[in-house]
Structure 1
Amino acid sequence: MPPRQVKIGDAAAFAGCTPRAIRHYHEIGLLPEPARGGDGRRRYGYEDMIHLLWIRKMADAGIALDDIRKAFTTGTASAGAAGDADGVADGGEGIAGILDRLEETLAEQEAELRRQRTAVQRMRAEGSRMGLLSHFVTERLKNLPEGSLRQADLDVLLVTERIFSPLGAAVQAGRFVALAMHPRLREESDRVDAAEEALDDSVAVDDPRVAQVAAERHAFENALLAFIEESGMDKDDEALFDAWDASHPPAADDPEVCAVKRPPGSMGLFETIAKMPYDFSPARLRCMELAVELSAQEAAAT
């Protein structure tokens, strides 16, 4: 003969959970406290087990414990017929509303899983780090010779994508494409980068080397731009903007039709820049300012 009542361990084993979980159900008011035996321990009868099994079924379906408690206490159950007052609620904000919200949550989780699976597949196909960049960016880099793209290049693209969107990173990727196609430009880029890094905190802002490195940066950028134009790569940038506009059409009532759309919850341009630390010395910052001034003066003269 089966027992008329069982202890918490046997109840947990039958329901497929743990005694700790059952105690938690009692603490939050989800499962009523059962009668206790002469030894002071809980004893669970048939109705207690039925209640516990329904809790487990609903929890396994992904329904939150708070929602399960509401479902048990705000109405009556129905499985094609009138239910027990202790059953699962169907009325008001009962099980129907709970299931609607659960379905929305599951749909969001499925979309997130698809996004994660796609990211993993791209990491396998394109390399672990490059695969984490936007497809809009990596598409422009896919034909580069092996080894021509450096880790520092990927770091720059990662930051650029965060600040200026995948479109900005894809445009900047053209810079690395040009350097990969022109080894001498890559060598000159490395030399100027090293000269800028040498402008550390030991160098005064008015040191003649600051203006000299700024002039070298300006000359290099002009040489790089000339190569990009001569090779026709600037037309690739135009195609990028067209492709971006086609995949990100502005809303009909959006006055900022030229603005790059940001995902919900993302930071604005200036907010993002302000939160990204750059360990630049005052001399190096001044060098950057002078290089920009040289470009502005040249543009005004032409």
Structure 2
Amino acid sequence: MHSSFMPPRQVKIGDAAAFAGTTPRAIRHYHEIGLLPEPERGGDDRRRYGYEDMIRLLWIRKMADAGIALDDIRDAFTTGTASAGADSGDGIAGILERLEETLAEQEVELRRQRTAVQRMRTEGSRMGLLSDFVTDRLKSLPEGSLRQADLDSLLVTERIFGPLGAAVQATRFVVLATHPTLREDSDRIDDAEEALDDSVAVDDPRVAQVAVERHAFESALHAVIEESGLDKDDDALFDAWDTLHPATADDGEDEADLSSGGREADSMSAVEAIGKMPYDFSPARLRCMELAEELSARESPAT
């Protein structure tokens, strides 16, 4: 995240809808049928959506895209189970060729929906909501080694940067899942950053101290990634992505630009998406992030 960027702590319904790829009307409907809890309202009496609300919206959209009825999605949230069904539509009578094409398209879509639902059932966790390109990076990990927060983070990253960006980020969670000491250090620093709430001034000595600890941890994490050869696996991800999605000369895309890594067709730009995803960071915590980035920049080799 760019050091000068100030993420919103909460967003209005329009931004929430844009980020999730839906509409304000749909979100209001989710509230009406009990699928999405009513969020708190701001001083202008308008709804305000935070991080957990956005996670729920992404869940709803992914499951609806897989063909699961909204009532079944609501049941999944309340009972932990869901069933899926797909309605087959009749073509326009009298135009047999077009009818055949329509039915063929529906058959392809039905197979896609069934595959998506089967993945969600088979995975037995939020991993089933991620694309194959991301989950393939994680399947070798021991069962239970990934946390819900890890998968939520990957879900958000895939929405912003596409499957390639999320697959690269997955390297971080692979290391944390297989190195208990690093996971403990990560938890400790995460807790220290969360403690930098609104009661802490931006010039409080704790802010700089936590930034130093964050920088040291990220350096140690990167070192483990290099020592284990996972950085080479990341390079292979780019090659695999290029093979699956060859770019043309007219695309004008930089291979290293994760913002072009297969975002969904209705997706906004990465910058727009980041601006619509709320994170409840205090000024002190944002300052801590800036200081950690500055420390990293000082150690980065000149290019």
Whether the TM-score (by the shorter chain) exceeds 0.5 is: yes
Contact 2:163/2:261 (8 A) holds in 1: no
Q: Residues 109 and 296 (structure 1 numbering): CA distance in 2 closer, same or farther, change over 3 Å?
A: same
Question: Which residue identity is paired with 2:90?
Answer: G
Contact 2:162/2:264 (8 A) holds in 1: no
- Equivalent in the alignment of 1:73: none
Give the TM-score, by structure 1 length. Answer: 0.65
- Equivalent in the alignment of 1:237: 234
- Deviation of 1:122 after TM superposition, in Å, equals 1.4
Q: Residues 232 and 127 (structure 1 numbering): CA distance in 2 closer, same or farther, change over 3 Å?
A: same
- Deviation of 1:171 after TM superposition, in Å, equals 0.9
2:163 aligned counterpart, secondary structure: helix
- Equivalent in the alignment of 2:218: 221
> What is the rounded CA distance, in whole Å, between the counterparts of 1:168 and 1:266 in structure 2?
14
- Does the alignment pair 1:137 with 2:134? yes
Q: Residues 213 and 61 (structure 1 numbering): CA distance in 2 closer, same or farther, change over 3 Å?
A: closer
Q: Residues 209 and 63 (structure 1 numbering): CA distance in 2 closer, same or farther, change over 3 Å?
A: same
> What is the rounded CA distance, in whole Å, between the counterparts of 2:159 and 2:278 in structure 1?
13
Which of 244, 252, 256 pairs up with 1:247?
Answer: 244
- Equivalent in the alignment of 2:286: 285
- Deviation of 1:114 after TM superposition, in Å, equals 1.3
Contact 2:120/2:127 (8 A) holds in 1: yes
- Does the alignment pair 1:176 with 2:173? yes
- Does the alignment pair 1:256 with 2:284? no
Report matched runs for 1:160-175 at 5 Å: 160-175=157-172
Which sections of structure 2, spanning at least 5 residues, go unmatched?
1-87
2:267 aligned counterpart, secondary structure: coil
Contact 2:161/2:262 (8 A) holds in 1: no
Which of 87, 90, 112 pairs up with 1:62?
Answer: 90
> What is the rounded CA distance, in whole Å, between the counterparts of 1:161 and 1:261 in structure 2?
9
> What is the rounded CA distance, in whole Å, between the counterparts of 1:255 and 1:152 in structure 2?
35
Which sections of structure 1, spanning at least 5 residues, go unmatched?
1-59, 69-94
1:140 aligned counterpart, secondary structure: coil
> What is the rounded CA distance, in whole Å, between the counterparts of 1:183 and 1:135 in structure 2?
26
- Deviation of 1:147 after TM superposition, in Å, equals 1.7
Q: Residues 123 and 298 (structure 1 numbering): CA distance in 2 closer, same or farther, change over 3 Å?
A: same
> What is the rounded CA distance, in whole Å, between the counterparts of 1:186 and 1:127 in structure 2?
23
The alignment covers a number of residue pairs equal to: 212
> What is the rounded CA distance, in whole Å, between the counterparts of 2:115 and 2:194 in structure 1?
38
Contact 1:137/1:170 (8 A) holds in 2: yes
- Equivalent in the alignment of 2:202: 205
Give the TM-score, by structure 2 length. Answer: 0.65
Q: Which has the higher contact order (CA 8 A, sep 6+)?
A: 2
- Equivalent in the alignment of 1:272: 273
Larger Rg: 1
- Deviation of 1:103 after TM superposition, in Å, equals 4.4
> What is the rounded CA distance, in whole Å, between the counterparts of 1:137 and 1:254 in structure 2?
24
- Does the alignment pair 1:196 with 2:193? yes
- Deviation of 1:264 after TM superposition, in Å, equals 2.4
Worse-matched range after superposition: 209-218 or 247-256 = 247-256
2:156 aligned counterpart, secondary structure: helix
- Deviation of 1:265 after TM superposition, in Å, equals 1.9
2:253 aligned counterpart, secondary structure: coil
> What is the rounded CA distance, in whole Å, between the counterparts of 2:243 and 2:122 in structure 1?
26
Deviations 1:223-266 (A, max 9, x none): 00111111111111111111111101012432336343444222
Contact 1:123/1:132 (8 A) holds in 2: yes
